[in-house]
Each structure stands twice: as structure tokens, then as C-alpha cells.
Amino acid sequence: ETGVTQTPRHLVMGMTNKKSLKCEQHLGHNAMYWYKQSAKKPLELMFVYNFKEQTENNSVPSRFSPECPNSSHLFLHLHTLQPEDSALYLCASSQDKRGGDEQFFGPGTRLTVL
Amino acid sequence: RKEVEQDPGPFNVPEGATVAFNCTYSNSASQSFFWYRQDCRKEPKLLMSVYSSGNEDGRFTAQLNRASQYISLLIRDSKLSDSATYLCVVNEASGGYQKVTFGTGTKLQVIP
């Protein structure tokens, strides 16, 4: 399935590195999301963009910086991460966040911070 | 109380068995509900929406009990391929937008 794609699929980075995660959706949706999934924890919503505007930031540390240049693309810029930031980062999209619609998830980026 | 709570399991059931999961939510103003399925090391995928009147899709039945603030998922005639983690999702209105909350998931293992 290619509705929501994410790159890279795996990423290993040091604490001083700067990297970016990319998400692209081909579904014509208006809302995009970043989630963090750590072992034994529920999915944590990080950021929400609706019509390219950030509508939610769930107290995410500033070392995570989202960017949404258009409704189809979403980036998560990473810098000076900590080992506890190692997790699966999932991107999702939905037709319109206000509608409580089904979310379609990308395959995720498995991030390891050394 | 957690916003959305699920028994993490694992539920180990034989093929052909019927199994049910519950999910409780704390906000009585929650508006929409979903069950997602997540296979090991894969992304979550929508299994079914949960409607007030209940809904059925093949071997799967979802129910909503607003009075007691829980949703349920019933799987009949379990197949090996049903082995996965089942995530409960609750949407509530927040500042004009929907706030999406996932449960931790219930792990199901169907054994031959």
C-alpha cells in the first residue's frame, strides 16, 4: 500500500546529529499527524497539521521540530536527541481532523538514538 | 484514571474460539470510537468504527456502551491471522478540533 509513505524506514543517529523524517500522503487528505510509539506505551500524539496549519503540539520538546510545506508532505526535524527518544515514529493522515475521521498510517520510521 | 484503558493481555485463545476485549474511556463527552489492529512491527490499520447502535463486520462485532463508558470488540471463530494487537481509539472535541487518544492495546495470540 502506498497511501502514506515514510522515509527513512530505519534511522540510527548520535545525540549530536541532525536528521529529518519525511512523510508523504497520496490520499488527498487535509490533516497530517506525527505519533511516537515506544515499547509498552500507547501511541503518543506529537503534532497535528490541518490544512498546513499546526493545530496541536502536545508539549513536545523543542528538539523535535515539525514542518508542513503543503497538505501532502510532513517533516519531523530532529536535533540533539536523547536515547529515550528512540522509538517508532508514525505519520498519519485523515480527511479532516475536525471530523474524527479514520486515520491512515504510514509504515513508520524506527529511530535509534545512540 | 487513564483517558483510555485497555487490558494489555496477552489473550491466548485456540483457533475457533470467541474472544472479547473491552476498552474504557474517561471523558463522557467523547464522540467517536474506533478499533485499530496493529501487527508486530507494522503500522496500525483501521479495523472498524464503533457506532452507538453497534456494528458487525463478518466475524467482528463492535459495541458502544455510553452509560458505562466502554466499547467492546468481539471476535468469533478466531483465526491464526487474527493474532495482533487491537488498539482502542477515542475521539473527543477539544478547542474546535478532535482530540485523538489511543489505548495501549490488547495483544491477541490465536494458537493452533
A3-32 tens-digit pLDDT? 999 999 999 999 888 999 999 999 999 889
Taking only the tens place, the pLDDT of each residue in A84-103 is 999 999 999 988 766 567 88
- Hey, what's the cell of A114? 545512540
What does each of the 112 residues of chain B score in pLDDT, given as a tens digit? 678 999 988 999 999 999 999 999 998 888 889 999 999 888 999 999 998 888 999 999 999 999 999 999 999 999 999 999 999 999 876 666 667 889 999 999 999 9
Give residue ranges of A with CB < 8 Å to any B CB. 33, 40-43, 45, 48, 50, 55-56, 90, 97-100, 102-108
> Residue A3: closest CA among chain B residues belongs to which residue?
B45
- Chain-centre distance for alpha carbon A35: 5
* DSSP conformation class of A84: G
Does the distance separating the beta carbons of A107 and B96 come in below 8 Å? no
Rounded to whole angstroms, how far apart are CA atoms B100 and A13? 30
Q: How confident is residue A73, by pLDDT bands cut at 50, 70 and 90?
A: very high
Strand partners, B74: B20, B61
3-state secondary structure of A112: strand
Q: DSSP class of residue A17?
A: -
Average pLDDT over residues A48-76: 87
Looking at residue A40, what is its pLDDT? 77
CB count in 10 Å sphere of residue A72: 16
The pLDDT of residue B96 is: 60
Q: Any residues with CB less than 8 A from the CB of B21 and at least 6 apart, and which?
A: B6, B7, B11, B72, B73, B86, B88, B106, B108
User: From CA B46, how far away is CA A23, in angstroms rounded?
Assistant: 19
**Residues in CB range of A103: below 8 A, 6 or more apart:** A33, A92, A93, A94, B46, B100
DSSP type of residue B58: T
Q: B24 and chain A: CB distance < 8 Å anywhere?
A: no
Helix (H, G, I), strand (E, B) or coil at B94: strand
What pLDDT, on a 0 to 100 scale, did the predictor assign at position A99? 54
Q: Write the residue in B43, B96, B102 that is nearest to A42 by C-beta.
A: B102
Distance in angstroms (rounded) separating the CA atoms of residues A7 and A22: 5
For residue B28, the model assigns a pLDDT of 87
